[in-house]
Structure 1
Amino acid sequence: MGRLTGKVVLISGAARGQGAAEARLFVREGAKVVLGDVRHEEGRALAEELGPDACYGELDVRDEDAWRAVVALARETYGRLDALVNNAGIVRHQPLERTSVAEYREVVEVNQVGVFLGIRSVVPAMRAAGGGSIVNIASIGGLSGMPAMSAYCATKFAVVGMSRSAAMELGPSGIRVNSICPGHIDTPMNDLPKLNTQWLTRGLPLRRTGTAEEVAALALFLASDESSYCTGSEFVADGGRLAGTPLV
C-alpha cells in the first residue's frame, strides 16, 4: 500500500477494462486519479465508487481541447500532475484489403494521435511538478504482426517508437516515458465470448489469457518511483507469446 502516495495520475480510457483496473489499483496505492473517457455514465459511476480520491473528466483523446481541459482539471482539483497512463484505444478486426481508409484513419486517430496529444499535453504540468512518468499502453501488436489487424498493429508500432523518442527528449526534464505491450487481455474491448480462446491460448507457455489487473500492476510499477531508472523501454505482459514458436 502507498506506492503512489502523493501522486496525481491521469488515465485515459478509464471507464472500463484496463483503465478502470488501473484506476482502482492506483487509488488503493494512495494516488489521486483523474479518469478521462468518452463513456460518461460509466466514468462518472467509477469516480463516485472511488470517492474523493478520483474525479471524472470528459476526454475524447482525438481532441486537443479535451486534453487541455483534463490536465487543467487535475491541477485545479489536486494541485499537480505526476503521471499519465495513455490507455484509451480501439481495435478493428478486418483483413487489410477490406479495411477502408476511413476505418484505418479512425484507428490511427484514437490509438496514435491520441497518445501523441496526451504526451504533449501533460509535459508542462509534469515539468512544473519536477518530473513525472508517462505510461503508454501499446501491444504485442506493436512488436509483431497480427493477421486482420493491420491498422491496429501500425498504430501500436507507432506508440512504441513515439515512446522511445519522447523518452529521449523528456528525460532531461525528469519525465520518464515507457510503453506496456500486453498480449491478449480479457477486457470488454477484446470481446472474448466471440473469440476462440482455446486457439488464442494453446500456444502460450502460461496457457491462459491475461487480466486487466495484471496489466494494471505493471502500470503501477511504471507510474511509481520504483521504476525511477526505467525510460524508453517496452514492458511485455503476453503470457509468453513472443518467447518463441509454440510446440503445440
Structure 2
Amino acid sequence: MNRVALVTGAARGQGAAIVARLHADGFRVAACDVRADELRSSVEGYGEAVIPIRMDVTSPQQWSAAVAETVERFGALTTLVNNAGILHRAAIVDETPEGFENSWRVNCLGPFLGIQAVVEQLRRTDGAAIVNTCSTGAIRPFPHHAAYGSSKWALRGLTQVAAAELAPSGIRVNAVLPGPVETPMLDPHTQNRLAARATLGRIGRPGEIADAVAFLVSEQASFITGCELVVDGGQSLQIG
C-alpha cells in the first residue's frame, strides 16, 4: 500500500517524533513547518522518503501548494496529521484580540484548512485517516489559557464534525489529546513544575504521542473514527 502522510508542526518536538515514527512504519512523509531552516535540519538522514515543505498552516494557498507538491513527489496522499499548534498564555483581563485570534488561527483554522485541502486526495484512497493534535486543555480548564484552551475545545468539535461528515467517504478522523510533553513548547521550569505534580511522576515524551498517532492512522484502527485518545499520564484524573 502506498502510504503517504503530511505532518504539520514537523520541525521539532512531537511533530518531529511523528515524522520519525511514520517513516519507521513505512510511510513517505511530507514534513511541514513554518520554521524552514529547523525543518530541513530535522529531516536530514531520511533520504527521499521525507521531504521538507515550508508552510504556514493559516494560509489556504500554502496548504494547496503543499498538497500538490506531496502528490507530485509521492503519487498520493493518504494521511493528514494536523499537529502544528501554539501555546499562548494570558489572563483574560490581559488578553488582546490579536493574541486570542492568532491562537485560534493556528490551532483551529489551520486544521480546518488542512482538512479542506486534503479531502479530495483522501477520498481517492483506501484507509485514509486524519489525526488532529488536541490537548488536555480541551478537557479541563487551565487558568490563563483562554485563547489556547478555547481553540483546542473548538478543534475537538471540528474533529467530531469532520468524522461524521467524512465517514461516508471512507475517511477516518480522530484526535489525540496530549498532556504536558517534553517539547520546546514548555520551558524547562514549566516541565519540572508539571513533572513534580504529575500522576505518574513525569511528563510525556514526544515518542509517546507519536505512538498514539501511529496507531490511529494504522490498519489496526480501521474501525475507529471520532475517537479522542487521551495521552496524558493521568493528568485529566487530577482534581484542582
Regarding TM over 0.5, the answer is yes
2:173 match: 177
Runs of 4+ in structure 1 off by over 4 angstroms are none
1:194 partner amino acid? H
Kept in 2: contact 1:82–1:131 (CA 8 A): yes
User: Counterpart in 1 of 2:154?
Assistant: 158
Q: Deviations over 1:106-129 (max 9, x none)?
A: 111100100110111110000122
Across the aligned residues of Structure 1 and Structure 2, the Cα RMSD in angstroms comes to 1.3
Partner of 1:26: 22
TM-score (structure 1 length as normaliser): 0.93
Shift of 1:201: 3.1
Q: How big is the shift at 1:131?
A: 4.8
Contact kept? 1:9, 1:32, Cα under 8 Å = yes
Tell me which of 180, 184, 195 is aligned to 2:190. Answer: 195
2:123 is paired with a residue whose SS is helix
Mapped partners of 1:142, 1:49: distance in 2: 36
Query: Gaps spanning 5+ residues in structure 1: where?
Result: none
The answer to which of 168-177 and 125-134 deviates more is 125-134
> In 2, are the aligned partners of 1:130 and 1:173 still within 8 Å (CA)?
no
Match of 2:204 among 197, 202, 210: 210
Equivalent residue of 2:52, what SS? strand
Contact 1:134–1:175 (CA<8 Å) still a contact in 2?
A: yes
From 113, 116, 130, the counterpart of 1:117 = 113
**Secondary structure in structure 2 of the residue aligned to 1:210:** coil
Question: 1:181-209: CA deviations, max 9, x gaps?
Answer: 10000100112x132624x2344321110
Give the corresponding residue for 1:227. 221
Offset of residue 47 of structure 1: 2.7
Secondary structure class of the residue paired with 2:62? helix
Q: How many residues align?
A: 240
Aligned to 2:129: 133
1:245 aligns with 2:215: no
Matched, 1:87 2:87: no
Aligned to 1:72: 68
* CA distance, structure 2, for counterparts of residue 196 and residue 208 of structure 1: 9
TM-score, structure 2 normalization: 0.96
Question: Equivalent residue for 2:182?
Answer: 186
CA contact (8 A) 2:33 2:56 kept: yes
Separation of aligned partners in 2, 1:224 and 1:134: 11
Measure, in 1, the Cα distance between the counterparts of 2:146 and 2:164: 28
- Are residue 13 (structure 1) and residue 9 (structure 2) matched? yes
- In the alignment, is the contact (CA less than 8 A) between 1:203 and 1:241 conserved in 2? no
Give distance in 2, aligned partners of 1:145 and 1:173.
Answer: 35
Alpha-carbon distance in structure 1 between the residues aligned to 2:226 and 2:197: 29
Structure 1 Cα separation of the partners of residues 106 and 73 of structure 2 = 26
- Distance in 1 separating the partners of 2:220 and 2:186: 30
Indicate the SS of the match to 1:208: coil
| Runs (5+) with no aligned partner, structure 2 | none
Identity %: 39
